Every structure is written in C-alpha cells, then in structure tokens.
Structure 1
C-alpha cells in the first residue's frame, strides 16, 4: 500500500490543512500497517511552474522531475492532498504539481469519445482548510472543484473531501471547523 501525501500550505507549523492531512495519514497508517508514505511539501520544496521549455521537454532536469512526479502519482494507492484555500483557489505550488502530473498518454488520453483517465483505481482525499465558510457548490470555491476535476480527469473517481471551514473567523469557529474535520478523519 502506497500513500502519496502532499502538503501545499504556505503557513508552515501554523497550517490547519497540514495538521489535518497529517492526522489523516496517521489514521490511514493505523488501518494499513504496511503503508509506505511518500511525502511532498510543495511549499518547502516547490516544483517549478510549467513553462514552454518544460512542456516541450527541453529541460532534462525538469523532464526527469516531471517523470518522477507522474510515476509517484501513478504508483500511489491513496493520495492525500492538504489544500488551504487562498483567494478562492489553490496555492500556486499545488497548481504546479497538477500541471506536472496532467500528462497526455500517462495520466489521461484523448479518444474519439473524449478524455479517459489512466491513473488507475485509487482513493483520493482532499483535506481542505478555508478561512471563511463556503460549503459545497459555492460560487467562490475554485479549490475543491478544481482538485475533484483533476482527479476525475486522470481517472480517480473515489474522492473524499475533509473540510475545515471558518478557521479565520475567531477561535470558536476555528475550533468548530477543526473538530468537524477531525471527526471526518476518524471516520475515514
């Protein structure tokens, strides 16, 4: 069993999404004693943003990194993404990871009937933290929807969301959001 654990918050030890994603990975390791965890901290070790040179394979070092990231994604049985919401969306570091794993012929292909995901049968968890309260299907949410779309596009349809909302709306709201998210983690 391989778990790919990705954190993307820029807040370091103060990050809610990091605390929650770590709690989820620990819960998964308890359930799967044989689990191996690959960890990516996209804030501490950022992936260079997509450029024409990278896209066209003109940078050997970046091509090798891209292949490593794709293979890591393909090999994972479970993917845990810690995603804090910034200005209604993802961190740019997480978007850079998405750009590097979305590779035609590797994680998806186009057919006469449209795109088909190639990433295999895996489980994905989006561990989301938000300063405000948005709920599901908010017109202001370009975070969870984008991640669900990317996972679906690459063939991963078993996606669960663990969400802590209101974490910047005072201590009481923060505690409520954390408590609700931790209860979801215990149930995972």
Structure 2
C-alpha cells in the first residue's frame, strides 16, 4: 500500500512537471573544442595576442527551454602555460611575468549574479561579480557576459580588461627593455559549457 502511494505521488509530480514549464538545473563542463579565449595586448612596437589552448571549468545553469533563469555556480580555469602566441620568446616572457613555475592557473569563480536580462530569443546578458585569481592574487571583478542557451549548451561570450599591475605582474619586456608591453590586457572569450 505504501509503495502504491509513493508511486502515485511520483506520477502526479511527473504529470505536474509536464503540464507546467520544466525548470532544469544542469551542471555543465567546459567543452574545449567549442571554446576560445584570446588575450589581447599592446606594446610600443605592435599589438600582440595569445590563445588559450588548455582550459576547464564547471557551471550550474537553471533553464526552462531556451530561457536562462539562473546561474547557480560558475568557474573557469585557464592553464597559464597553455597561453600560446606562436612566438616562443614571447611565450617565455609571458610565463616569466605570470610566474608559472609557482602559479599554474588563472581562475575566475562566480560570487553572485546581479541581473539576467533577455536580449533576444535564447540570448541573455548576465551581470556578475566574481573572484579573479592571477599569480596568487585574488581580486573581485564585475563581469558582464552574454549567454546563449541552445539544446543543453550554454555559450558564454564577452570581454574583460585586466590591469596586470593590480595582480603584481610587471608587464613583460623584450630586447633589453626596448620593447615594452602595455599594462592592460583584454581577455576576449567564447566558452561553451555542456
């Protein structure tokens, strides 16, 4: 008798969820093959960039169909020596500046979501605050990014400008200091969680 009541209760719950909209909380991981992050910088000689080849992360998103309702958790980890410019000398200077022998990763961890705004069908602007850790230094940053919800995937895209000196990083130089990089870099990202 007790098992029949439990079974009836489950059936009623399933029927209710089918009739009403279904909210789905889904833990997702970074899909590296569908993700891209590029660090853009300047110098007194020319602009430069480095692409992230090693990254990971997890997020828990709550959606109803293609409507984003909530971002419960989010983290993103970039392996510092996974940044590649295509120029070994420049990469070596970057790793030295990032102190990669001691600090292997750069990480963003969500603290709170201030606002989710629908931009178009399945596309949302998400205003957040999180901790960004670089070279062992953690700072709170405000980060607004776009989330496109489609078929169980969450595509996050946006840009974040970072003043390297606030993380104790001396902007790299080359050729005995004659080439100097600017203190600001921009992370331009398009990262898929599924």
Category of TM-score, reference length = shorter chain = under 0.3
TM-score, reference length from structure 2: 0.24
Between structure 1 and structure 2, the one with the greater Rg is: 2
Query: Structure 1 or 2: larger helix share?
Result: 1
Query: Structure 1 or 2: larger strand share?
Result: 2
